[in-house]
Chain A
Amino acid sequence: MLAAVTFIFVFSCRKYETYPVERITDNIVYDSLDKNATYAEWVVNGIYAFLPNGYNRIDNVVLDAATDDAVASNFGNNIEVLGKSRLSAVNNPDDKWALAYEAIRRANLFLANIHVVPRDETTKTYWKAEVRFIRAMNYFELLRRYGGVPLLGDKAYSLEENIQLGRNTFNEVVSYIVQECDAIYPSLRTDPIDNTNLGRITQAAALALKSRTLLLAASPLNNPADDPARWLAAATAAKDVINLGKYSLAGNFREIFTNRKSPEVILAYQAAQHSNLERQNAPVGYVEPNVSQGYVSPTQELVNAFPMQNGLPVTDAASGYDPANPYTGRDPRLAATVFYNGMMWLRRPVETFEGGLDNPSAAVRVSRRTRTGYYLRKFLGDFGNATDYSNQNHNFPIFRYAEILLNYAEAANETDDQAAAYTQLKEIRKRAGLQAGADDLYGLKANMGKTDMREAIRLERRLELAFEEHRYWDLRRWKTAEQMLNKQLTGVKIIRNTDGTFTYSYQPVDYVSFAAKQYAYPVPYKEVTASGGGITQNKDW
Chain B
Amino acid sequence: MNNYIKIIFSLFFLAPSAVPAAAHAYAAGVLFQDTARQAARQDSIYPLFFTTKQKDQLVSAVGFADGAALRAVPLTGIGNALTGRIAGLATIQDAGEPGNDQPLFLLRGRTPLVLVDGIPRNIYTILPEQVASVTVLKDALSAAALGLRGADGVILITTRKEAKQRGHNMDFSINTGIAQPLKQRELLSAAAYAELYNEALQNDGRPALYTADDIVKYRNGSAPYTHPDNNWYARVMEKQAPYQRYVLSANGKTDAMGYFLSIDYLEQDGLLNQSSLNSYSTNVDYKRFGFRGNVSIDLSPRTKLSLNIHGSSRRRNAPGGAASLSFAPNTGRLDISTGSISGLFNSILNTPANAYPVYNPDGSFGGNQLFSNNIWGQATGAGYSQINMNDGLADLVLERDMSDVWKGWWVKGTASYTMEIIHNIIRNKSFATYEMKVTGANDTIYRQFGSIGEQANTSGVSVRNGSLFMDFSTGVSRSWNEHHLDVALQYQRSSARYGNQLPFVIKNGIFRAEYRMGNRYILDVVTSYSGNNWYKPGHQYNFYPAAGLGWNVHNENFFPQNSFFDQLKLRTNYGLVGRIDANYFSYLYTYSNYGSAYYIGTGAGGVQGTEESQLPYVRTTEKALKWNIGADLGMLNNRATLSVDYYRNRFYDLLQQRGRNTALLGAPYPAENIGKSQYSGLEATAGWSDKVNAFEYEIAANLAIQRGRIIYNDQPPQAHPWMETAGDRIGQQYGYIADGFVTTAGEGPVVEGYRSVPGDLKYRDLNGDGVINFYDVTKIGPDKPEIYYGISAGFRFKGFDVSLQLAGLANRMMNLTGLGEWEFQNEGRGPAFPHHYNRWTPETAATATYPRLTAGFNPNNHVNSSFWLSSADFLRLKTVALGYTFRGGVLDRLKIKGCRVFASGYNLLTFSGQDRFDPENGSLGYPLQRILNGGISIKF
Contacts and interface: CB of A to CB of B under 8 A. Distances in A.
Chains A and B are bound partners: yes
Interface of A: 1-2, 4-6, 8-9, 12, 16-20, 23-26, 28-29, 39, 42-43, 45-46, 48-49, 74-76, 80-81, 84-91, 97-98, 101-106, 108-109, 150, 152, 156-157, 159, 162-165, 195-200, 260-261, 270-273, 284, 287-288, 291, 362-368, 393, 513, 515, 524-527, 529-532
Interface string B438-455: 000000000111110000
A86 B753 contact: yes
Interface stretch (B164-172, B570-578, B656-664): B656-664
Contacts of A273: 604
Contacts of B606: 272
A45 B607 contact: yes
B481 interface: no
Given A273-B604, A529-B718, A530-B659, A88 B752 contact: yes
A198 B604 CA distance: 9
Nearest 9 Cβ contacts at the A-B interface: A105-B666, A5-B413, A76-B857, A46-B609, A86-B753, A98-B663, A42-B610, A85-B753, A365-B370
Contact of A270 (B600, B610, B612, B827): B600
B597 A49 contact: yes
B636 interface: no
A103 B493 CA distance: 45
Contact of A43 (B472, B611, B665, B752): B611
B591 A29 contact: yes
A101 B666 contact: yes
A16 B503 contact: yes
5 contacts: A5-B398, A8-B415, A104-B666, A157-B666, A163-B662
A271 B598 CA distance: 7
B598 A49 contact: yes
Interface in B209-232: 209-210, 214
Contact of B591 (A5, A24, A271, A364): A24
B859 to A, nearest CB: 6
B785 interface: no
Contacts of B369: 284, 291, 365-367
B665 A101 contact: yes
A384 to B, nearest CB: 22
A260 B599 CA distance: 11
B210 A197 contact: no
Contacts of A284: 369
Contacts of A28: 591
Contact of A287 (B204, B448, B502): B448
B615 interface: yes
B913 interface: no
A199 B398 contact: no
A1 B398 contact: yes
A87 B617 CA distance: 35
A288 B450 contact: yes
Given A2-B400, A16-B502, A17-B502, A288 B754 contact: no
Interface in B170-207: 204, 207
B299 interface: yes
Nearest to B501: A20
Contact of B592 (A17, A24, A195): A24
B392 interface: no
Nearest to B536: A19
Nearest to B825: A76
A1 B299 contact: yes
B782 interface: no
Contact of B590 (A24, A515, A526, A532): A24
B150 to A, nearest CB: 23
Contacts of A513: 753
A527 B664 contact: yes
Among A74, A75, A108, A150, residue most surrounded by chain B Cβ atoms (within 10 Å): A75
A395 to B, nearest CB: 8
B666 A156 contact: yes
A8 B662 contact: no
B554 to A, nearest CB: 41
A530 B588 contact: no
Contact of B598 (A87, A270, A515, A529): A270
Given A75-B828, A97-B663, A367-B827, A25 B774 contact: no
B598 A48 contact: yes
A530 B608 CA distance: 34
A157 B451 contact: no
Contacts of B537: 18
Chain B interface size range = 35 or more
B415 A393 contact: no
A39 B356 CA distance: 53
A531 B753 CA distance: 28
A409 to B, nearest CB: 31
Nearest to A270: B599
B597 A45 contact: yes
A364 B598 CA distance: 41
Contacts of B743: none
B859 A80 contact: yes
Contacts of A164: 660
B662 A197 contact: no
Given A1-B303, A367-B827, A529-B716, A197 B600 contact: yes
A25 B666 contact: no
A347 B924 CA distance: 45
B448 A527 contact: no
Interface in B574-594: 584-585, 588-594
B855 interface: yes
Contacts of A197: 600-601
A132 B147 CA distance: 51
Contacts of B602: 195-196, 198, 260-261
Given A42-B608, A43-B610, A46-B609, A272 B596 contact: yes
Nearest to A261: B602
Given A23-B585, A363-B210, A48 B664 contact: no
B572 to A, nearest CB: 37
Among A45, A85, A261, A362, residue most surrounded by chain B Cβ atoms (within 10 Å): A45
Given A102-B666, A272-B596, A159 B615 contact: yes
Contact of B604 (A5, A196, A260, A531): A260
A524 B661 CA distance: 12
Contact of A530 (B415, B660, B773, B857): B660
B214 A363 contact: yes
B435 to A, nearest CB: 8
A295 B595 CA distance: 29
Interface in B452-472: 470, 472
Contacts of B413: 2, 5-6, 8
B610 A29 contact: yes
B858 interface: yes
A526 B664 CA distance: 11
Contact of B752 (A2, A23, A85, A260): A85
Nearest to B533: A18
Nearest to A29: B591
B703 interface: no
A165 B664 contact: yes
Contacts of B118: none
Contact of B609 (A45, A98, A270): A45
Contact of B451 (A19, A97, A102, A288): A288
A365 B597 contact: no
A85 B503 CA distance: 54
Given A24-B593, A29-B591, A46 B598 contact: yes
B604 A48 contact: no
Contacts of B607: 42, 45
Nearest to B356: A365
A140 to B, nearest CB: 17
B717 interface: yes
Interface in B342-379: 355-356, 368-371
Contacts of A20: 501-502, 584-585, 588
Given A5-B411, A159-B615, 7 more contacts: A80-B859, A81-B859, A87-B753, A195-B601, A199-B599, A272-B596, A365-B355
